[in-house]
């Protein structure tokens, strides 16, 4: 089956286009996703700030001293956080923590309040219960909070209740002293559902990009092949004689050069063929008939040469046969066949014509075509001078 393109070009073009389209789709989506996450983190940070602002800092400071703890103080300090938690269904936990003697402990937890309205089955943290942070979440967050900054986890966290972001905000008493921080675990189910829809859109966009890349890659490969084929057609036509379809001088030199390069250590023969009295044919019958005679001779030459021989029209009525791996006897056989075939064939309008042939054979290790051509041309001149309709051999005496 004839191919209409090169598979390697198709694969390369499709891959390059796919990379570009993937970049067009994926890069904006990546930055958009990061931007959406940052907006969400900012929102969680603001909720944490609001939570810290509703806490009585002085009361929270007293709760850090176990001796000052009373259930009434705990419930009164917790109440504003419970109202905040009830106001948002996207909140998992609201709690406060503090750093006591180098250990982080829970202070308040809305899950302990009977007033909390939530569908989640939350497990409350006990008053002053130690908190242990998992290694994968370790950072300088406590230092950030002690310095008065809001801190939000940089990415999602996951526990038995699902995926969440946590925002922390420092708590200060009326004297401006740092007395702990509030934590808000924000439910990400809605956000993740939205992101899943975005991922579906991106996935289909990437699939579409692959299809577009394959189509465009195919057409690029088709165009490249058509362009290459056109160049090759022009190249081959520049190597061929339009009238006879034989190689022209340029094509002959290229073909002979390749043979001499590949077969340097062998014997080659060059035969130059010229139509006898061709000017008289043109003058008597016209150039159209002369062209027909030239075309007929080209057919005769192709009939008489061997399969590996190179035949060419060098110009006008001059033809060349280059016979690789051919000794003198073989070259003479080609010339005899050609002379006999021309004599026995009829040209257009029953015009009879003959040809003269000049032969040279070179058995040197590195044959030189220019030298062989000059010797064959000398032999052709001698054949013309000796009466035409014959061949003459120019021996290689080098």
Domains parsed from the chain with CATH numbers: 8-193 (3.30.450.20), 249-394 (3.30.70.270)
* Measured CA distances, 143 to 112, 118, 170, 296 (Å): 28, 32, 11, 101
Q: Which token pair is 97?
A: 């923590």
pTM: 0.52
- 398 pLDDT band (50/70/90 cuts)? very low
For 289-301, the pLDDT digits (tens) are 999 999 999 999 9
Alpha carbons 256 and 269: distance in angstroms, whole number: 11
DSSP 160: T
Share of residues in the chain with pLDDT > 90 (%): 48
Task: pLDDT band for 1, please (50, 70, 90 cuts).
Answer: very low
Cα 171 to Cα 44, 62, 177, 185, 247, distances in angstroms: 16, 13, 8, 17, 96
User: Which of 215 and 188 is assigned the larger pLDDT?
Assistant: 215
> Would you say the C-alpha torsion 232, 234, 238, 243 has a positive or negative sign?
positive
Q: Which two tokens stand for residue 15?
A: 């891959």
The stretch 99-125 carries a mean pLDDT of: 88
Q: What angle do CA 134, 140, 144 make, to 5 degrees?
A: 130
Instruction: Indicate the range of 19-28, 80-89, 141-150, 333-342 predicted with least confidence.
Output: 19-28
The pLDDT value recorded for residue 343 is: 87
Using 50, 70 and 90 to split pLDDT, how confident is the model at 3?
A: low
């Amino acid at each position: 089956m004839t191919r209409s393109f090169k598979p390697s070009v198709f694969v390369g073009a499709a891959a390059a286009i796919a990379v570009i389209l993937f970049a067009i789709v994926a890069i904006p989506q990546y930055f958009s996703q990061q931007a959406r996450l940052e907006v969400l983190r900012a929102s969680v940070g603001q909720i944490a700030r609001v939570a810290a602002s509703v806490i009585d800092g002085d009361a929270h400071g007293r709760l850090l001293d176990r001796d000052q703890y009373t259930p009434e103080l705990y419930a009164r300090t917790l109440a504003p956080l419970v109202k905040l938690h009830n106001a948002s269904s996207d909140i998992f936990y609201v709690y406060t923590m503090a750093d006591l003697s180098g250990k982080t402990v829970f202070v308040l937890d809305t899950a302990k309040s009977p007033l909390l309205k939530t569908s989640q089955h939350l497990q409350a943290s006990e008053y002053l219960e130690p908190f242990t942070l998992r290694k994968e979440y370790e950072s300088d967050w406590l230092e950030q909070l002690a310095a008065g900054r809001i801190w939000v986890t940089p990415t999602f966290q996951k526990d038995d209740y699902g995926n969440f972001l946590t925002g922390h905000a420092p708590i200060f008493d009326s004297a401006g002293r740092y007395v702990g921080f509030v934590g808000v675990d924000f439910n990400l189910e809605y956000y993740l559902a939205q992101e899943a829809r975005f991922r579906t859109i991106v996935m289909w966009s990437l699939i579409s990009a692959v299809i577009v890349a394959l189509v465009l890659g195919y057409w690029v490969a088709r165009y490249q092949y058509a362009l290459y084929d056109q160049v090759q057609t022009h190249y081959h036509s520049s190597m061929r004689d339009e009238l006879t379809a034989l190689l022209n001088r340029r094509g002959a030199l290229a073909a002979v050069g390749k043979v001499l390069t590949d077969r340097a250590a062998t014997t080659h023969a060059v035969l130059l063929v010229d139509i006898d009295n061709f000017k008289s044919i043109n003058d008597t019958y016209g150039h159209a008939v002369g062209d027909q005679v030239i075309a007929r001779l080209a057919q005769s030459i192709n009939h008489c040469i061997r399969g590996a021989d190179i035949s060419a029209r060098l110009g006008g009525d001059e033809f060349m046969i280059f016979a690789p791996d051919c000794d003198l006897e073989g070259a003479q056989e080609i010339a005899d066949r050609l002379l006999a075939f021309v004599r026995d064939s009829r040209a257009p309008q029953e015009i009879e014509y003959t040809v003269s042939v000049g032969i040279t054979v070179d058995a040197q290790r590195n044959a030189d075509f220019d030298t062989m051509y000059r010797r064959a041309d000398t032999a052709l001149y001698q054949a013309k001078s000796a009466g035409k309709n014959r061949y003459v051999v120019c021996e290689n005496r080098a």
